Homo-oligomer: A and B are copies of this chain.
Amino acid sequence: MFWSKGFIPTLKETPQEAESISHQLMLRAGLIRMLMAGVYSYLPLGLKVLNNIQKIIRAEMDACGASELLLPALQPQELWTKSGRDKDMGEVMIKFTDRRQRKICLGPTHEEVITDLAKNHISSYKQLPLILYQIQTKFRDELRPRFGLIRACEFIMKDAYSFDQDQNGLDKNYQAMYNAYNRIFKRCGLKFLVTQADPGVMGGTVSHEFMVPAEDGEDIVLSCPECKLQQTQKTENDEFCPKCNTKLEKINTIEVGHIFQLGTKYSSMLGANFLDAQGKQREIIMGCYGIGVSRLIPAVIAQNHDNQGITWPKELSPYKIIILPLDVTDKKIRKVAKDIHKELEENGIEALFDDRDERAGVKFKDADLLGISLQVIIGKESLKKNKIELKIRKDNRKIIKSKEGILKEIKRLIHG
């Protein structure tokens, strides 16, 4: 991809609207743009990161035997009256009446819709266990949207739902999801805490949250320095460790995942039953498993940046490598850069080619800001010595190789 043919509007100045580091960097690196408060467009680089995250999530969900589907954003309000959650949701749920006088809402979550689907199509224990998931856009009428994609009115979630005959089945699926979540967040380059959480309006009993420590995170995790117990903060009061009564430490975090054992809360209220092996009618046992997909981008940036910009973990980098010919008016530099580009393409390595006629300083700054995990720098002085420079963005380490040895080294760094 050539920089000049794409749409990567980087910013030198930090936009006023940005309240957190991750939000500033997302705007400056041209990943997103605000359409209105809480509502963002994903520009090409932002969408590429989003797709990389989704790819990881899909791989790990599929490995759990989950099947992907796609549920609608428009939902009949009636379903929420049946589940009794219309009041719990309150004003956060966007509602309207359509031309045919149907009362419709924009789904802030999909327990009702999926339970309704299960009710209509699961009738026998032979169809269980089952895990369904989707990656889909959700809507919330946030009173105070903040921090870019962290608290937005329109956002992307992965929500999975498990259906089982009994608690034993739910325990197994819950554990499988718990493990998958650990793998997903690790692959996203995150350090995170797992806390016992309050199921809240979701209902059910057991629940865990996956929290990413970040300076400007809004969610507080209480951690006991003595017995290492960790839980999410529920009240504004000072809390003491329920196990050993030590004063708890507060850690600012971003919530990126939340899993729940729902039990029969939804199947009971919406009538989702099955016939067991003895021909007896029973309620389906459910679990639900959410990941804040779009929110993962700022969470990852919060933990992966330096003074110059973003430092993407390898698997999330929007391109595998950025090619920096330091002077595109120089024939030799241009030829070497093009040759490398061609070789990378032939090897299936997606590269961003900075073909702009800009000063080296501008290119360096933009490349560091974008945070693509590997840079290949082609400059006049080095070329005279038949040398090409590589820079690993994560730690800004530089590697010098001969022109002939560069491709091998790039492949080693990307695949190794």
Q: What is A's interface to B at a CB cutoff of 8 Å?
A: 1, 4-7, 9, 33, 35-37, 39-44, 46-47, 50, 65, 67-76, 91, 94-96, 98-100, 102, 104, 106, 113, 116-117, 120-121, 126-127, 130, 132, 137, 139, 141, 143, 153-154
Assess the A72–B143 pair: CB atoms within 8 A.
no
> Once the chains are docked, how many angstroms separate the CA of A65 from the CA of B6?
8
Closest 8 CB pairs of A and B: A42-B70, A9-B121, A44-B67, A96-B96, A39-B72, A39-B74, A41-B71, A6-B67
Nearest residue (CB) in B for A116 is B35
The smallest C-beta distance from A115 to any residue of chain B, in angstroms, reads 12
Which residues of B are found within 8 Å of A68, using beta-carbon distances?
44, 47
> Once the chains are docked, how many angstroms separate the CA of A33 from the CA of B95?
22
Which residues of B are found within 8 Å of A98, using beta-carbon distances?
94, 141, 153
Assess the B36–A113 pair: CB atoms within 8 A.
no
Assess the B65–A41 pair: CB atoms within 8 A.
no
> Once the chains are docked, how many angstroms separate the CA of A6 from the CA of B68?
9
> Once the chains are docked, how many angstroms separate the CA of A113 from the CA of B39?
12
Contact of A75 among B35, B94, B104, B132 (CB under 8 A): B35
The smallest C-beta distance from A202 to any residue of chain B, in angstroms, reads 21
Assess the B70–A50 pair: CB atoms within 8 A.
yes
Assess the A139–B74 pair: CB atoms within 8 A.
yes
Assess the B47–A69 pair: CB atoms within 8 A.
yes
Assess the B72–A102 pair: CB atoms within 8 A.
no
> Once the chains are docked, how many angstroms separate the CA of A73 from the CA of B137?
9
Assess the B94–A94 pair: CB atoms within 8 A.
no
The smallest C-beta distance from A15 to any residue of chain B, in angstroms, reads 11
Contact of A143 among B6, B76, B100, B154 (CB under 8 A): B100
Which residues of B are found within 8 Å of A42, using beta-carbon distances?
69-71
Assess the A4–B47 pair: CB atoms within 8 A.
no
